[in-house]
């Protein structure tokens, strides 16, 4: 098997964290996105070439390493979170790992993502691994409690051991063009995170236009976001390829202007291995190989891993297995 794409050498070495920059409203107002052009480009992603056989298995293994293994349900329990963490320790069934000869790679998800209430549970369950815990804080999924409460929640999650914080912006600020207010809030949240990395959830399906999505992306990056993320997974419309293109191209523009690499996380609706490969192709084609590493690209997913395991099983044996043979939590 070709394992070049799976090689877990740390491409994060030398990566400079986004320090944040002053809000440049002139830059924000220059941002425009052409929806029809983005939709045409989206239709070409993954269509010009396909990944087959051993190469596909390698890309699927890479997808596992880019995944934030997530449970964000209203009926989550301590036991469910502990089972999810057990799955994170061994994300691919042992017989499949053995058949591919990749045990030495130690493939695990990029993080485990849970509600604030379960951060301490997840941290304890993942002791002895290098898997960080990410917390969805700031009144997820709506982000509409008073700012001081949201900041306190961030600080509490960090105190409990979260290494990454997924925050939710106020969509109304984007819709009303209150860029200064949005910048100030994200800046305050970044400060509350301290050493923990901050992913800003835009709720793109509720921002009306791709130009709004792009402007919000820029403002969050200027405010110090380490990642920009599409959705909470609770909106009617979550991650889409045109939306992703708008956000990824803002990441590229930001990098060209500042030299800072910002991460991207599509979330919501990515449940099939084929979709994961398409998003990986997007990142490779638009931003380059360096963005196919966990410090710059993540999937927000709860059911994606099951389909990836099914596809790996098919690639090895030529037969599909039922979902229940790849239990999550």
Q: Residue written as tokens 């042992």?
A: 94
DSSP 144-204: -S-HHHHHHHHHHHHHTT-SEEEEE--HHHHHTT-HHHHHHHHHHHHHHHTTSEEEEE--G
Buried b (16+ CB within 10 A) or exposed e, 231-252: bbbebeebbbbbbbbbbbbbbb
pLDDT at 301: 78
pLDDT at 49: 62
Which residue stretches of the chain are H helix? Answer: 25-30, 35-42, 53-65, 78-89, 94-100, 119-125, 147-159, 171-175, 179-193, 210-222, 241-258, 273-287, 304-317
pLDDT at 4: 53
Separation CA 299–CA 67 (nearest Å): 5
- pLDDT tens for the chain, 329 residues long, are 545 555 554 456 678 999 999 999 999 999 999 999 999 999 998 776 677 778 899 999 999 999 999 999 999 999 999 999 999 999 999 999 999 999 999 999 999 999 999 999 999 999 999 999 999 999 999 999 999 999 999 999 999 999 999 999 999 999 999 999 999 999 999 999 999 999 999 999 999 999 999 999 999 999 999 999 999 988 888 999 999 999 999 999 999 999 999 999 999 889 999 999 999 999 999 999 999 999 999 998 778 999 999 999 989 998 888 777 777 65
pTM of the full predicted structure?
A: 0.93
Which strands, in side-by-side order, build the sheet including 263-265?
263-265, 227-229, 197-201, 164-168, 133-136, 111-115, 67-70, 299-301
Find out whether 203 and 231 touch, Cβ atoms under 8 Å.
yes
Share of the chain above pLDDT 70, in %: 95
Separation CA 129–CA 50 (nearest Å): 34
As given in the structure block, the two tokens for residue 93 are: 């069934």
DSSP letter at 17 equals P
pLDDT at 50: 72
Strand-pair category, 299-301 with 67-70: parallel
Find out whether 29 and 280 touch, Cβ atoms under 8 Å.
no
CATH label, 25-325, candidates 3.20.20.70, 3.30.450.30, 3.40.50.720, 3.40.50.11540: 3.20.20.70
Choose, from 215, 265, 307, 313, the residue flagged as catalytic.
265
Separation CA 28–CA 176 (nearest Å): 14
Distance linking the first and last C-alpha atoms of the chain: 30
Separation CA 117–CA 67 (nearest Å): 21
Choose, from 62, 87, 215, 229, the residue flagged as catalytic.
229
Active site residue 124: no
Active site residue 53: no
Find out whether 167 and 189 touch, Cβ atoms under 8 Å.
yes
For 120, phi then psi, to 5°, come to -60, -40
Compute the radius of gyration of the chain from its Cα atoms: 19
Active site residue 166: yes
Helix (H) or strand (E) holding 306: helix 304-317
Beta-ladder partners of 166: 136, 199
Separation CA 142–CA 164 (nearest Å): 19
pLDDT at 226: 98
Choose, from 166, 226, 275, 307, the residue flagged as catalytic.
166
């Amino acid at each position: 098997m070709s394992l070049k794409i799976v090689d877990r050498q740390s491409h994060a070495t030398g990566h400079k964290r986004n320090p944040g920059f002053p809000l440049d409203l002139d830059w924000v107002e220059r941002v425009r996105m052409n929806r029809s052009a983005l939709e045409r480009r989206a239709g070409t992603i993954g269509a010009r070439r396909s990944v087959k056989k051993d190469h596909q298995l390698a890309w699927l293994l890479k997808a596992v390493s880019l995944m934030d293994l997530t449970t964000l349900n209203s009926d989550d329990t301590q036991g469910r979170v502990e089972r999810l963490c057990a799955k994170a320790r061994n994300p691919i069934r042992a017989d499949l790992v053995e058949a591919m000869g990749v045990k030495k790679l130690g493939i695990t998800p990029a993080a485990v993502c849970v509600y604030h209430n379960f951060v301490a549970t997840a941290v304890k369950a993942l002791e002895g691994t290098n898997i960080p815990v990410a917390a969805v804080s700031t009144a997820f999924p709506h982000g509409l409690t008073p700012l001081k409460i949201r900041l306190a929640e961030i600080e509490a999650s960090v105190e409990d051991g979260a290494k990454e914080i997924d925050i939710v912006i106020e969509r109304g600020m984007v819709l009303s063009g209150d860029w200064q207010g949005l910048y100030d809030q994200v800046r305050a949240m970044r400060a509350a995170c301290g050493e923990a990395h901050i992913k800003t959830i835009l709720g793109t399906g509720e921002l009306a236009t791709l130009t709004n999505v792009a402007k919000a992306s820029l403002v969050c990056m200027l405010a110090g976001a380490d990642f920009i993320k599409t959705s909470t997974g609770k909106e009617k419309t979550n991650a889409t390829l045109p939306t992703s293109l708008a956000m990824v191209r803002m990441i590229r523009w930001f990098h060209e202007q500042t030299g800072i690499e910002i991460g991207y996380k599509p979330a919501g609706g990515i449940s099939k291995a084929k979709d994961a490969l398409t998003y990986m192709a997007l990142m490779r084609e638009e931003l380059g190989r360096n963005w196919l590493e966990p410090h710059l690209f993540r999937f927000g997913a709860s059911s994606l891993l099951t389909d990836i395991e099914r596809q790996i099983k098919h690639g090895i044996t030529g037969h599909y297995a039922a979902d229940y043979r790849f239990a999550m939590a």
